[in-house]
Amino acid sequence: MKRKVIALLLASTMVLSMTACGGSGGDSGSSSGSTASSEGGGSGDNTLTVWTWDPNFNVYAIEKAAEIYAQDHEGFKVEVTEVLSDDIETNLTTAASAGDYSTLPDIFLMQDNSFQKYVANYPDIFTDLTDSGVDFSQFAEAKVAYSVVDGKNYGVPFDNGAVIAAYRTDYLEQAGFTIDDFTDITWSDFMEKAKVVKEKTGQPILTSQAGSPDLIMEMLQSCGASLFNEDGSVNIVGNDALKECMEIYVQMVEDGTLVEVTDWDQYVASLNNGTVASSINGCWIMASITAQEDQSGKWAITNMPRLERQENATNYSNNGGSSWAISSNCDNPELAMDFLNATFAGSTELYDDLLTAGTGAIATWSPAKESDVYAEPSEFFGGDAVNSKILGFSEQTPSNVTGPFYYDARNAVGTALSAITQQGADMDSEIEKAQDTVEFNMGG
């Protein structure tokens, strides 16, 4: 299929996950506080234009990075335009369809799970960063893999999406457990203990947004499995890891130890109002948990359960996160590379500030965890040095295959899961439907 045809199809059918930092932020195109520039790269010899979303998270991060870089580079600044994640992707598609990249900024932020789709379909948008000077070995391997295509690096990793299992320790205590009883365990062990928690406390151990396959995707990546094969073909039918994940999920729904809720607001409410005993999600969920200040000291963090039938099973995974890209429209790619290398790939000062200034952004840059800031105990999470722990989780997370049609496959699995849990549909039949749907969308 011709690349322009693919572009038009993607522009009309784009469906993106709303988890993590994706889809959040303010109005598209609004100024972030610096002089905004909505299009075009290179506003001056020492100025870089940037697209990103969320003024309190990503915009703050890039502006703080510019402030630090300017300390040794007089006159340097960034001009940031706040653009929603899905609008960035739509703008990239539009530029590629028109063959006109002049509207693109020097630097833009991209969801990790979208990275390979856009590099594969629109390679002319991206600048190859393989020889940029960035030491990619200092980042978590799985994080780097999201923005690697054909052995070349196209993104500088930013925020951490490592999966955590956060538990209400007061509920565990009522059930006769401690956080250690839920550390380095299997899903079978977790499921049995979940029944005890439900019996002793009256609360399920997990909630999940109905129709969302987030937990399934986390479980898959924990053993390095994917919905695609290395050659890009669909890997849904006959995928034993996927079948095991879905069986666990469905059984927990039947047991009443996992309760499906209608939407994201209800999911967060279950954490804050005490109607669930734990959350297994990307580490960014801590911002929602800690919003309930009267629960300080009642939570603890450990790793997630592991699958049992999979040879490469681990207790570590990822959900969410993003990376910085340099567009082909950048007038001064050397400056852009040096800026990203000196800050997001080289500044403990930056990551310490991001962690303490209210953004809560946890690095995947390994040297960050050696700082005193990352070693500080969290009173909310029982005095544990959770930030250093989470960075360690990301270093042990297996990489997997995302590919250009990741969201098509993810959504198809979500549809199948919903049909099984809510309509009693046959699992094998729904898995076959999911495979057929993705293959159809791929033009196969």
Does any domain span residue 44? yes
Of 77-81, 137-141, 354-358, 413-417, which range is least confident?
A: 354-358
What six digits make up the tokens of 25?
């932020």
- Check whether residue 26 and residue 104 sit in a common domain: yes
20 domain residue, yes or no: yes
**CA 362, CA 355: separation in Å to the nearest integer?**
6
Pair 134, 340: CB distance under 8 Å: yes
Q: Do 330 and 336 touch, CB atoms closer than 8 A?
A: yes
Q: Work out the pLDDT band at 37, boundaries 50, 70, 90.
A: very low
For the segment 128-152, what is each residue's pLDDT rounded down to a tens digit? 999 999 999 999 999 999 999 999 9
- Asked whether the predicted pLDDT for residue 13 surpasses 50, the reply is no
Q: How many CA atoms lie within 13 A of 332 on its CB side?
A: 15
Q: Would you say residue 21 has pLDDT above 90?
A: no
Same domain as 338, residue 311:
no
Structure tokens at 285: 């969920």
User: Does 355 fall in a domain?
Assistant: yes
Domain count, the chain: 2
Q: Please give the share of the chain, as a percent, with pLDDT higher than 90.
A: 87
Dig out the tokens for 69 from the structure.
């870089």
Q: Which two tokens stand for residue 6?
A: 């693919």
The enclosing domain of 11 has a CATH number of 3.40.190.10
Tens digit of pLDDT for each residue in 287-324? Answer: 899 999 999 999 999 999 999 999 999 999 999 999 99
Q: Does some domain include residue 394?
A: no
Residue 9 pLDDT level (bands cut at 50, 70, 90): very low
Beta-carbon count within 10 A of 240 CB: 11
- Give the residue-averaged pLDDT of 50-79: 96
Which DSSP letter does residue 377 get?
A: P
- Tokens 């959770």 belong to 386
- H or E element: which one contains 326? strand 322-326
In sequence order, what DSSP letters do the residues of 172-218 get, joined into one string? HHHTT--GGGGSS-BHHHHHHHHHHHHHHHS--SEEEETT--HHHHH
Q: Do residues 97 and 170 share a domain?
A: no
**Across the beta sheet with 47-52, what order do the strands follow?**
30-31, 77-82, 47-52, 107-111, 322-326, 156-157
Q: Are residues 113 and 128 in the same domain?
A: yes
Q: Are residues 304 and 422 in the same domain?
A: yes
Is residue 183 a part of any domain in this protein? Answer: yes
Residue 383 lies in a domain: no
pLDDT value at position 25?
A: 35
Residues 225 and 87 in one domain: no
- The DSSP code sequence of 239-259 is -HHHHHHHHHHHHHHHHTSEE
- 100 is a domain residue: yes
Query: Same domain for 351 and 274?
Result: no
Q: Quick one: pLDDT band at residue 396, thresholds 50, 70, 90? A: very high
Mean pLDDT of the chain: 90
| Same domain for 183 and 57 | no
Q: Quick: pLDDT tens for 248-291.
A: 999 999 999 999 999 999 999 999 999 999 999 999 999 899 99
pTM for the predicted model, two decimal places: 0.86
Q: Domain limits at 46?
A: 3-160+322-370
Residues 195 and 114 in one domain: no
Q: Do 83 and 25 share a structural domain?
A: yes
Contact 429, 435 (CB under 8 A): no
Average pLDDT over residues 176-185: 98
Give the max Cα distance, the chain: 65
| Same structural domain, 313 and 343 | no
| Whether residues 347 and 418 fall in one domain | no
Q: Does any domain span residue 342?
A: yes
